[in-house]
Amino acid sequence: MTLIPPPMPGVPGRKAVISREDLIAAALKLVGPHRSVSSLSLREVAREAGIAPNSFYRHFRDMDELAIALIDQAGRSLRHLIGEARHRATAERSVVRSSVEAFMEQLSADEKLLHILLREGNVGSDAFKQAVERELRFFEDELCVDLVRLAEAHGTGIHEPALVAKAITRLIFTMGATAMDLPRERHAEVAEQMVVMLRMIIVGTQTMARHGVPANDIAGPPREDRQA
Amino acid sequence: MTLIPPPMPGVPGRKAVISREDLIAAALKLVGPHRSVSSLSLREVAREAGIAPNSFYRHFRDMDELAIALIDQAGRSLRHLIGEARHRATAERSVVRSSVEAFMEQLSADEKLLHILLREGNVGSDAFKQAVERELRFFEDELCVDLVRLAEAHGTGIHEPALVAKAITRLIFTMGATAMDLPRERHAEVAEQMVVMLRMIIVGTQTMARHGVPANDIAGPPREDRQA
DNA sequence: CACTTGTCTATACAACTGTATATTAATTCT
DNA sequence: AGAATTAATATACAGTTGTATAGACAAGTG
């Protein structure tokens, strides 16, 4: 999706002095901790890219369309990152730790793209939100098959793997979002918190797979409909 | 904070035909799934409230100030809600289930206020974000003392209660935010997912308290620095 | 060459924004 | 009654926004 037409030499017309990617880059330069994508104006992006406002329409119909392209790119970047993290993980260290570390690492380096994916899934148009949701679900699905595979390999059970994946994903993303407002030196601390949280979830799902799911938690009295 | 001056009879001047609360209400009428607080304009709110644009300044200095007042109100509403949920919980059912149910219930009823708290903590000015963060932390702290108290009462251990509270809070809030985009009839399903997720965390923290924390998870090889 | 085609720019317009200034209206105090 | 004080308004202005229209430039075609 959002493919660039290949540079066939047989097409008439003027040589494009600017490309979609240039516009995306210009938009990226403008977003930041205080500037959300949905608050960018068409003219602003055009100005940053050094073109006339109307030239924008040659590449995108809307700012919304640009935003979705941005999300796509952020998603690709994230998927690449996670792929690498997974590769590193199975070799030496735990998935949890190395994934979290890779995530936080990317958070510092590639800040803007992650920013978009993390924080702006809640505002904006429907198309915008769906695009973010799609990337989240992608992340989630990959994590799910990973979890199942690892659980089988290690002989540990896993209760409701899909929900485990969902919980972990959402947790990583929100924690990452809040980490972005913190000074760089506190990122390691947040990463450590994330690792502990994820371990709790994993220990929980394993215990529940081993001993059966409890019908109530620490707060409630025993219930009658507890499963045998 | 944001106190109304008491109606002393001894102050000259014209009777105020509109109050801060009316402006807040007008702003609330405007926000929705497609309209974020930070995208509201001063004139728009004034128009909705039926006053001249400049009259806005009699009550707030900024739209930002209005936004923070909105967050305060949403926070109060949420705290009230949680207080009730906790009251109900200790009596008959589990904290987890009844809290989640109360949360989702409020989500449907009082949609707008929760909306603001849930979705808009990531965009907007610093003051805005800090206000949301403050409310989140409040929620978190209350939950933490609850967890510790319950763990003691039931004789179950609890590992890193503060982190448990944080994880649960963030999870509830993000899941709640995504639920708001779903049709009403799927809310129960999301609530069920949330309950399972939270139980995993609680079972996890209990197991870790009982058996000691694992030095690595299901994916990694044993590490040497494992705690005795 | 003229011709078409696609890219970009210039100008323009109506709508909207936040806010400054000045004026009017309502209420209480003396 | 009149003076004082405060809320609300009307008008106005400069800036920004999205976009419509029309024209200029460059590259390929016949």
Instruction: Give A47 CA → D27 C1' in Å.
Output: 26
Q: Tell me: the pLDDT tens digits for A28-59?
A: 999 988 899 999 999 999 999 999 999 999 99
Predicted pLDDT at A10: 62
Q: Please provide the size of chain A in residues.
A: 228
**Residue found by looking up tokens 């900024």 in the block:** B62
Lowest average pLDDT, out of B95-99, B131-135, B188-192, goes to B95-99
Q: Tell me: the pLDDT tens digits for A167-218?
A: 999 999 999 988 988 999 999 999 999 999 999 999 999 999 998 776 555 5
| Distance in Å, alpha carbon of A196 to nearest chain B alpha carbon | 8
Cα B109-B114-A201 angle, rounded to 5 deg: 110
Q: Tell me: the pLDDT tens digits for B21-73?
A: 999 999 999 998 889 999 999 999 999 999 999 999 999 999 999 999 999 99
Closest CA to B171 of A170, A113, A70: A170
CB atoms A90 and B207 under 8 Å: no
Cα B31 from chain centroid (whole Å): 17
From chain B, pick out residues whose CB is under 8 angstroms from the CB of A93.
216, 220
Q: Tell me: the pLDDT tens digits for B82-101?
A: 788 878 776 656 778 888 88
What is the spatial distance between Cα A155 and Cα B114, in angstroms, rounded to a whole number? 42
One-letter-per-residue 3-state SS of chain A: CCCCCCCCCCCCCCCCCCCHHHHHHHHHHHCECCECHHHCCHHHHHHHHCCCHHHHHHCCCCHHHHHHHHHHHHHHHHHHHHHHHHHHHHHCCCHHHHHHHHHHHHHHHCHHHHHHHHHCCCCCCHHHHHHHHHHHHHHHHHHHHHHHHHHHHHCCCCCCHHHHHHHHHHHHHHHHHHHCCCCHHHHHHHHHHHHHHHHHHHHHHHHHHHHCCCCCCCCCCCCCCCCC
